[in-house]
Amino acid sequence: MSAYREADTNEAGAKRRRWPDALKRELVAATLEPGASVSIVARRHDLNANQLFKWRRRFAEPARPPAVKLLPVQIGPTLPPEPPAETAATAPAKPGSIEITLSGGVRVKVTGAVDPVAITAAVGAVMKARRRR
């Protein structure tokens, strides 16, 4: 069944069809039926499926936002704050040793308390000296 004849093409030189709103709504309703395919409905009526999708957005009822569920809240007694856990940055340095082997056989070895800033500076100086060669 073609709806092509129901579209208005009487304007002189008109290439576009003018579809009445009632027909648009009818076609949109056909696509909303269970098991319906927009593509098949569009083909039956000599219509581009993209146009039918546009009409669906235009004539569709606005979507309702999902209902918001409120949860009950109880306020209890205030507890004293716990001391912060020690992190690597705040923990005291423990004595130990670290050895870094760079390409070319260069080794940097530090024994005792290891300060990350000092190690970064030492490795940076070694790498800078190696680039000058």
DSSP designation for 95:
E
* Distance separating alpha carbons of residues 66 and 70, to the nearest angstrom: 13
At 80, the pLDDT band (50, 70, 90 cuts) reads confident
Output the six-digit token pair for 58. 């235009």
24/15: higher pLDDT:
24
At 9, the pLDDT band (50, 70, 90 cuts) reads low
Residue-wise pLDDT for 17-40, tens only, equals 888 999 999 999 998 888 989 999
- The span from the first CA to the last CA of the chain, in angstroms, equals 85
The pTM of the full predicted model, rounded to 2 decimals, is: 0.40
The confidence score (pLDDT) of residue 50 equals: 94
* Distance separating alpha carbons of residues 72 and 54, to the nearest angstrom: 43
* Distance separating alpha carbons of residues 25 and 105, to the nearest angstrom: 79
